[in-house]
Chain A
Amino acid sequence: MLKQENIYKPIKAKLTEVIDESPLIKTFILIPEEEFAFGTGQFIELSVDGIGEAPFTPSSSPHVTEKLEVTVMKTGYVTEYMHNLKPGVFMGIRGPYGRGYPVEKFFGKEVIILGGGCGLAPIRSLLYALEHVKDNLQKVILCYGSKTPSDCIYKPLFSRLNKIEKFEAYRTVDKADSEWDGPVGVATTLLNKININLKNSVAVVCGPPIMMKFGTLKFLEMGYTDDQIYLSMEKNMSCGLGKCGHCMMGEFFVCKDGPVFTYNEIKNTPDIWK
């Protein structure tokens, strides 16, 4: 075997627990066999042995290094296998890759986070990271939308966030059920109800492509500048190393230059909302 570090070789991680978050979403709790640390918003390539790997941003705190949580929506070939995994098996991890959220740039500011669907996974990690440095922040507001109340993941997170000083969390659903008594409408409608200091805040958007687009447009309409808006882009990263070409978005390798970009960096790049 070669002596130098092999960039393609995963480390093993034991799956210790699987949490059902919603009918299509599960959280996998993993204990890596080797030391593993990541920055919030960075992603990993998570593999099912012999089946395939796919990119995910961990949903756990970057300050907790002994275990790693990854929230996965069943949406394709690899994720369907993942959803059938039982605790005890080993999965493969490569990474962490890319440029995550620049938390230190948020110091002294209000952080307004707009999330939708499974986009709450990277956001939860960001929220943990922001909680860790809350003394340096003005406030943190989460506006989250899911299709139905049962599609909402991490339900206990919302009441917990609302108890933390400087944190506010709001939920909406596209379609209510009999038990839902909260707001109904897409996630961007929540932005109409919050108090912000526009000049001294940053906006973070993470969700399905359609929400990324309309969320960004909404923030622009509210008066945010292009470089106040942070987007977490989703592409089919295969290698994570800026080589394989699958995640190219214009001149950017989303895996290496991103996945977190300011809108200013990518606004002239074609097909960013696809």
Chain B
Amino acid sequence: MHYLTINKEEWDKTIEQLLLSYSIFAAASNEFGIDYELVNGANIARIAYNRAKPVTSLKSFFLPVKENVTSGQLLEKRRIIIGVPNCDVCGLKLLDEIYLDKDFDDIYYRERRENTLLISVDCFEKQLHCHCTSYDVLPWAVADADLAAIQIDNQIVLRVISEKGQEFINQLSLVEVLSDETIISEIDKKHLLAESLLLSDNKDLPGYKQTGGLVNKAGKEVWMKYSSHCVSCGACATICPTCSCFLLIDKPGFEKIKQMDACQYPGFERVAGGEDALYELAGRFRNRYMCKYVWKPEKFSSPACTGCGRCIEACIGKISKNELLIEIAK
């Protein structure tokens, strides 16, 4: 892993030129905050560097809400996604384990993964509910993305993470090796600041492994209390970077439509005879916690919660997962 640098103006021009051969999406600042936008000449200046996560999680680029999985189309162009926070990069690892498993490889998911270059950003700030460090996820990527782009004054500093990232850089002119050690130490300092802010703001939150035991043991009263504000809208699962359940819907011609689904919707586990293991709201609510902290960790090596906090932001019932976890840790 090493650092390169390019003048910000040149970098913006480079992005504009890359639009000829790539579809580029980027986390951009808008009047509501930060979210992914399809990059065009007009919004390059609004690309958000050094900022915390975009509203939407990265998974929607790889698992569309709805897609035809029997006669679906390939990507028209290769893609670049700029502005991916490390919580989402880590979330993608679990999706890879599920969708690219050795027995059943999802060709549509694979095609999108292989043809997408991930340029992550380093979070030099934290949003209210960010808690990645509690789950051993750093607010900057050192693996699994291809590059990281950091803005320092009028330069874009690029950290090369993967071989694919290096190959991409090789085709760019005007990128130089970063020789100014003070910039690297400034970046390191910002990393540590963000990390310590995240740790201190979440000091009462139990760690990922510990959470599994706590969730497993938590009594029904906890689930009843916190689910009393749940309206089963599924926003928590929809916005989650690792929730990836879906339903297959049949269309004439033996076509299959794969539509994202969520265990928070009533009837998710109902079988034809009418039995439904998740019929009760509190049980359904608990299921998502069990899945994230108890069951997925038994089956997969990547974390099923990367601490992005989006489920808390998205909840219209104002249910705070972290408040719940802190309560059961007491």
Whole-angstrom distance between the Cβ of B329 and the nearest chain A Cβ: 22
On chain A, the residues within 8 Å of B248 by CB distance are 8, 53, 238-239, 244
Q: Is the CB of A7 within 8 A of B104?
A: yes
How long is the Cα–Cα vector from A250 to B293 in the complex, in angstroms?
11
- In the bound complex, how far is the Cα of B97 from the Cα of A243, in angstroms? 10
Q: How far is the CB of B223 from chain A (nearest CB, A)?
A: 13
Q: Which of B101, B261, B271 contacts A244 (CB 8 A)?
A: B261
Is the beta-carbon distance between A47 and B98 smaller than 8 angstroms? no
Given A76-B272, A236-B269, A246-B268, is A50 in contact with B247 using a C-beta cutoff of 8 Å? no
- Any A CB within 8 A of the CB of B251: yes
Instruction: Please tell me if the beta carbons of B105 and A4 are within 8 angstroms of each other in the complex.
Output: yes
Are B254 and A92 touching (Cβ within 8 A)? yes
B61, CB-defined interface residue at 8 Å:
no
Assess the B298–A2 pair: CB atoms within 8 A. Answer: no
B250/A49 in contact, CB under 8 A: yes
Query: Known interface pairs A2-B74, A242-B101. Does A50 touch B253 (Cβ–Cβ under 8 Å)?
Result: yes
For A70-92 the 0/1 string (1 means CB < 8 A from B) is 00000111110000000000001
Residues of A contacting B254 in the complex (Cβ-Cβ under 8 angstroms)? 9-10, 12, 47, 49, 92
Q: Looking across the interface, which residue of chain A has its beta carbon closest to that of B71?
A: A1
Report Cα–Cα, A177/B101, bound state, in Å: 53
Which chain A residues lie closer than 8 Å to B258 at the CB level?
8
Which of A6, A235, A274 has a CB less than 8 Å from the CB of B107?
A: A6
Let me know if A6 and B277 touch, CB within 8 A. no
Measured in the bound complex, the distance between the Cα atoms of B263 and A236 in whole Å is 13
Given contacts A2-B74, A52-B250, A236-B272, contact A245 B103 (CB under 8 A): no
Q: Give chain B nearest CB distance to A151 CB in angstroms.
A: 15
Contact A244:B70 (CB < 8 A) given known A75-B272, A75-B273, A79-B272: no
Is A248 close to B, CB under 8 A? Answer: yes
Chain B CB within 8 A of A271 CB:
yes
Q: For the complex, is A266 an interface residue (Cβ under 8 Å from B)?
A: no
Interface status of B3 (Cβ within 8 A of chain A): no
Interface of A, secondary structure class, is loop
Contacts of B256 in A (CB 8 A): 8-10
B295/A2 in contact, CB under 8 A: no
Whether, in the assembled complex, B169 has its beta carbon less than 8 Å from a beta carbon of chain A, the answer is no
Give Cα A250 to B296, complex, Å.
Answer: 9
Q: Which of A8, A12, A246, A248 contacts B247 (CB 8 A)?
A: A246
Q: Quick check: B104 and A243 within 8 Å, CB to CB?
A: yes
Q: Which residue of B lies closest to A93 (CB)?
A: B254
Q: Report B106 CB to chain A, min CB distance, Å.
A: 6
Assess whether B184 is interfacial by the CB under 8 Å rule: no
- Look across to chain A and name the residue whose beta carbon is closest to the beta carbon of B300: A251
Minimum CB–CB distance from B226 to chain A (whole Å) comes to: 19
Which residue of B107, B250, B298 contacts A53 across the interface (Cβ within 8 Å)?
A: B250
Question: B258-275 toward A: CB 8 Å interface, digit per residue (1/0)?
Answer: 100101000011111101
Contacts A9-B256, A75-B272 given; indicate if A50 touches B104 (C-beta within 8 A): no
Nearest CB of chain A from residue B113's CB, rounded to whole Å: 14
CA of A271 to CA of B279, assembled, Å: 12
Asked if A208 and B273 make an inter-chain contact with CB atoms under 8 angstroms apart, the answer reads yes
**Contact partners of B192 in chain A: CB under 8 A:** none
Asked if residues B246 and A243 are in contact (CB atoms below 8 Å), the reply is: yes
In the complex, A241 has a CB within 8 A of chain B: yes
CA distance A249 to B298 in the complex (A): 13
In angstroms, Cα B296 to Cα A45, docked, is 25
Q: Chain A residues with Cβ under 8 A from B245's Cβ?
A: 244-246
**Contacts of B98 on A, CB cut-off 8 Å?**
242-243
The 8 Å CB contact of A250, one of B268, B273, B295, is: B295
Whether the Cβ atoms of A209 and B252 lie closer than 8 Å is no
- From residue A77, how far is it (CB to closest CB) to chain B in Å? 8
Cβ–Cβ < 8 Å partners of B227 in chain A: none
Whole-angstrom distance from the CB of A118 to the nearest CB of chain B? 10
Residue from B252, B271, B298, B299 in contact with A235 in the complex, judged by beta carbons closer than 8 Å? B271
Say whether, besides A8-B69, A251-B294, A54 and B272 are in contact (CB < 8 Å). yes
Chain B's nearest CB lies how many Å from the CB of A208? 7
Whose C-beta in chain A lies nearest to the C-beta of B275?
A274
Q: What residue in chain B is nearest A10 (Cβ atoms)?
A: B254
Contact B106 A243 (CB under 8 A): yes
Contacts of A47 in B (CB 8 A): 250, 254
Interface residues of B in 33-84 (CB under 8 A from A): 69-71, 74
Asked if B162 is an interface residue, CB under 8 A from chain A, the answer is no
The 6 sampled A-B contact pairs (Cβ below 8 Å) are A6-B69, A6-B107, A53-B250, A245-B246, A250-B295, A274-B275
18 extra A-B contacts, CB within 8 A, seeds A1-B71, A77-B272, A245-B244:
A2-B108, A4-B105, A5-B107, A8-B70, A8-B256, A12-B254, A47-B254, A48-B250, A49-B254, A52-B249, A53-B248, A92-B250, A234-B271, A238-B248, A239-B248, A243-B104, A248-B263, A251-B298
